Amino acid sequence: MSFEIKLPLFEGPFDLLLFFIERDELDINDIPISKITNDFLDYLHNLEKLNIEVASEFILVAATLMRIKSKMLLPRPQLDEEGNEIDPREELVRHLLEYKKYKSVLEELQVMENSQIDKEKRGNINKELRTLAESVNVESEMQDLDLYKLLKVFQNVMERYEIEQNKPRHEVIQFPYTISGQRDFIMYALRDKKKVPFSDIIEQDKNKIAVIFNFLAILELLQMAMITLHIGEGFNNFWVEKLDEVGEKVEG
């Protein structure tokens, strides 16, 4: 038995984000960034499975969503000059609202264009194209062909082929890490020890992406009040300690 997977293709990353917001009836001014980030990344991973090249603007927005998500996990919010808390989602929401406004105008213009193009007053483009196609005499053009013209056509084709081959290509590598998985990894490391230095956690997997996911997992565990941190002097010198009440709940 074979299965066919069909994914809707979107013109740009903001089209995809608006689709998720409208599909789940979300408030565009209060986006649940964790959920929409997971939906966005799942869509990109499914495109990769179908061998569809992911455009650079999708990759940029995916990185932006991850950055916003990590900022929202920080225990200390950013403040502006007046001391007000800065919402990391503010810039994304502003871009989405602006894009939605222009998209609605473009849809109206597209309807107007389709209506006008079928009118005879200033020429019907589809009709003119059919007339031109019927008037072209292929046989007479073939009589004017010579070796020089053929070589010029061949040269142009090869130049276009060379440009196409040398286009920059983007490759998205999926790492085997998730924040929830690294949370479990850190809590497992604390099962027999009350306190673990961050350097020991890094030693388990020195991959830069693994270090980032471990750090984000620590921030999330802090937010969930499952651990606390003890800061020392020097670079990366801090200890992760499991809170007693969490340990009692796990044992119970």
pLDDT, tens only, 237-252: 788 888 875 444 444 4
Return the residue matching tokens 């502006």: 80
pLDDT tens digits for 42-68? 888 887 776 667 678 888 888 888 888
pLDDT of residue 46: 82
Of 103, 119, 135, the residue at which a domain comes to its end is: 103
**Bridge partners of residue 36, in order along the sequence:** none
pLDDT band at 2 (very low <50, low <70, confident <90, very high): very low
CA atoms within 13 Å, Cβ hemisphere of 109: 6
Average pLDDT, integer, range 121-136: 65
Q: Which residue has the higher pLDDT, 147 or 177?
A: 177
Average pLDDT, integer, range 152-170: 83
The number of folded domains in the chain is 2
- Average pLDDT of the chain? 77
pLDDT tens digits for 67-89? 888 888 776 667 777 767 778 88
3-state helix, strand, coil in the chain (%, to 5): 60, 5, 35
* 134 part of a folded domain: no
Of 103, 138, 167, the residue at which a domain comes to its end is: 103
Of 48, 82, 103, the residue at which a domain comes to its end is: 103
Q: Give me the percent of the chain exceeding a pLDDT of 90.
A: 0
The mean-pLDDT minimum among 20-29, 78-87, 150-159 falls in 78-87
Prediction pTM value: 0.41
The mean-pLDDT minimum among 31-40, 69-78, 123-132 falls in 123-132
* 142 part of a folded domain: no
Strands (E), the chain: 195-197, 227-231, 238-242
The mean-pLDDT minimum among 88-92, 211-215, 233-237, 239-243 falls in 233-237
Quote the domain boundaries for residue 213.
179-251
**Bridge partners of residue 204, in order along the sequence:** none
CATH number at residue 234: 1.10.10.580
Q: Tell me the C-alpha distance between 39 and 129, whole Å.
A: 43
The yes-or-no verdict on residue 113 having pLDDT over 70 is yes
Q: If you count them, how many residues does the chain have? A: 252
* 125 part of a folded domain: no
pLDDT tens digits for 9-22? 567 788 888 888 88
* 58 part of a folded domain: yes
* 229 part of a folded domain: yes
Q: What is the dihedral of CA 135, 139, 143, 145, to 10 degrees?
A: 80
